[in-house]
Chain A
Amino acid sequence: MAGEEQENNNNKGFRLLGILDVQNTPCARDAVLHGAGGSLGAGLLHFLTTSRVKRSFDVGFAGFLLTTLGSWFYCRMNNAKVRVQQRRIQDGIKNKIILQRTPHPGSRSEKKEILNRLQNFFLGSCPNLHKILRLFQASRLAHRRVTEVRRRLVYSDSSRSND
């Protein structure tokens, strides 16, 4: 079924000059339409100011080329940025799933967000809980600092032993 629909689309696809499939190529249709508009505008403007027909056609065609190229590159760059973002999001989701339930599940901002949400949720039910949460945060920070100091000591010891 999907194959038949795709086959119909491919058979009905309109190719400009037999080359460019404007229906199935991303950004092509918009670029050509913008180019046509730019060509009309530039040519008309030149004719209205100079009353030279042939030169106006030339200016109109130059406008078509420049507008088509400009619209094409702008649209392609935006599409490329969206593709890069999409891949980053996919990798992030994959990493999140892989790193779930490990001792250090996420980034610092993620932990902060979780703590903030917990704080906001429980503050309404238990007014003193925010003090407990602050103590918890302080203890986590202290634990992190102690771990860092231990890591530095171990590293400095190992580098001294190598020397």
Chain B
Amino acid sequence: MALPSQLGFQDAGSPLMEELLHFHDHALMVVFLISTMVLYIIVAMVTAKLTDKLVLDSQEIEIIWTVLPAIILILIALPSLRILYLMDEINDPHLTIKALGHQWYWSYEYTDYEDLGFDSYMIPTHDLTPGQFRLLEADHRMVIPTESPARVLISAEDVLHSWAVPALGIKADAVPGRLNQTTFIVNRPGVFYGQCSEICGANHSFMPIVVEAIPLEHFENWTSLMSEET
């Protein structure tokens, strides 16, 4: 989850988010260098003597400041496009989960092998136990096995919602009457938090998403337990 006053990204939980982090670092370095160059030019111009006021043209510098930005843009665009197509790859998912947005909770359905479905409501602040996070905890978490490609089919039952988990690099709109698909692999066991990312009414801020990644043998135990409960 995000820490208080955190500006940067959360630690990556999936390979896709790792790639996004690396691309972000790369783009930020380019931005830093350009900013440094602009700052240097400003200082140079402010401290320059007022000679050479009648310079009309200079072919060399015109070529430089046309070619250099083109090269910089290519350096940024190539990794960006690579990640864009990487996000659309479908890696033969082992598990399919349906995430449906309602006002104002999420419901998850695991219908691959047995009929398992449950709702996920936010835990109100007064019901939190010590150590739990305000406005982020849910009573039932979406549990997935680690190191297994998973597919989430996202839709909505009433109005627009958006299913987002920043640590996994996932955000997909939940549109009534439409199925949006996203696939991901979680690298490590853990709990990853997200929040609804499309305005959907009064309690839009109070329908969090909690994804819990656990090893496969524990996942099988969990499905059996949840099937008995429901």
Interface residues of A (CB under 8 A from B): 3, 6-7, 10-11, 16-17, 19-21, 24-28, 31, 57-58, 61, 64-65, 68-69, 72, 76, 80, 83, 87, 94
Residues of the A chain whose Cβ atoms lie less than 8 Å from the Cβ of B28: 19-20, 25
Shortest beta-carbon distance, A18 to chain B, in Å? Answer: 9
Q: With A and B bound together, what is the CA distance between A20 and B29 in angstroms?
A: 7
Number of interface residues of B (CB under 8 A): 23
B31, B37, B40: which contacts A19 (Cβ < 8 A)?
B31
18 contacts across the A-B interface (CB closer than 8 A) = A3-B3, A7-B3, A7-B4, A7-B6, A10-B3, A10-B5, A10-B6, A17-B32, A17-B36, A17-B39, A19-B31, A19-B32, A19-B35, A28-B25, A31-B29, A58-B44, A65-B33, A83-B18
Closest A residue, CB atoms, query B187: A90
Residues of the A chain whose Cβ atoms lie less than 8 Å from the Cβ of B32: 16-17, 19-20
Q: With A and B bound together, what is the CA distance between A27 and B27 in angstroms?
A: 13
**Interface check B130, CB cutoff 8 A:** no
**Interface check B8, CB cutoff 8 A:** yes
Q: With A and B bound together, what is the CA distance between A58 and B31 in angstroms?
A: 20
Instruction: Compute the total of residue contacts between A and B using a CB distance below 8 Å.
Output: 51
Instruction: Give the residue among B22, B32, B35 with the most A Cβ atoms within 10 A.
Output: B32
Q: With A and B bound together, what is the CA distance between A163 and B29 in angstroms?
A: 62
Given A17-B36, A61-B40, A28–B29 Cβ distance below 8 Å?
yes
Question: Does the CB pair B5–A11 fall under 8 Å?
Answer: yes
Contact with A along B1-31 (1 / 0, CB 8 A): 0011111100000010010001001101101
Residues of the B chain whose Cβ atoms lie less than 8 Å from the Cβ of A94: 147
Interface residues of B (CB under 8 A from A): 3-8, 15, 18, 22, 25-26, 28-29, 31-33, 35-37, 39-40, 44, 147
A6, A25, A68: which contacts B25 (Cβ < 8 A)?
A25
Closest A residue, CB atoms, query B25: A25
Closest A residue, CB atoms, query B7: A10
B8, B26, B31: which contacts A10 (Cβ < 8 A)?
B8
Closest B residue, CB atoms, query A27: B25
Question: Does the CB pair B8–A21 fall under 8 Å?
Answer: yes
Closest B residue, CB atoms, query A19: B32
Closest B residue, CB atoms, query A3: B3
Q: With A and B bound together, what is the CA distance between A69 and B36 in angstroms?
A: 13
Q: With A and B bound together, what is the CA distance between A80 and B37 in angstroms?
A: 28
Q: With A and B bound together, what is the CA distance between A65 and B4 in angstroms?
A: 35
Shortest beta-carbon distance, B67 to chain A, in Å? Answer: 15
Closest B residue, CB atoms, query A91: B147
Q: With A and B bound together, what is the CA distance between A31 and B8 in angstroms?
A: 20
Q: With A and B bound together, what is the CA distance between A148 and B16 in angstroms?
A: 42
Shortest beta-carbon distance, A85 to chain B, in Å? Answer: 14
Residues of the B chain whose Cβ atoms lie less than 8 Å from the Cβ of A16: 32
